[in-house]
Amino acid sequence: MRINSKYCRTRLSIGFFLCLVYAVAGADPTSIPSVAPKEAAAMQTTKKAIIVDVREDNEWQEQHIPGAIHIPLGQLNARLAELNRYKNSTIITQCRSGRRSAQALEVLKSAGFTQIYNMNGGLTAWTNAGLSTE
């Protein structure tokens, strides 16, 4: 298996940057509001929340949560207008494992969204919980 070193350096840089931001701000990265996959599924089913999948296009095409909105993290700032109608609704951000969706939560928070949660464990935890995907 070949590892893309540029990709790894970028991921490490983003992770380091977020830790630095949290440290400077005095925030605890574990204090991000979050929900478990089964709770997210129940909230989506009862129309109490929408799920925003921030994974890349190829990840989305392989497998995704039915009814989720797909906006890759790298495009989120440019596509915030697509979520404006949900500004006063509950939004659950989701990725593969929960890291990118935590970053997306911060982007949404900065844009004035207030009812936002990160899905613990991302799509990995969703499928491990036996929840359906497409």
Does 8 qualify as catalytic in the annotation? no
Q: How far apart are CA 7 and CA 120, in angstroms?
A: 23
Q: Which is catalytic among the residues 95, 116, 119, 125?
A: 95
In angstroms, the CA 134 to CA 128 distance is 15
Which residue matches tokens 């509950």?
90
Catalytic residues: 95
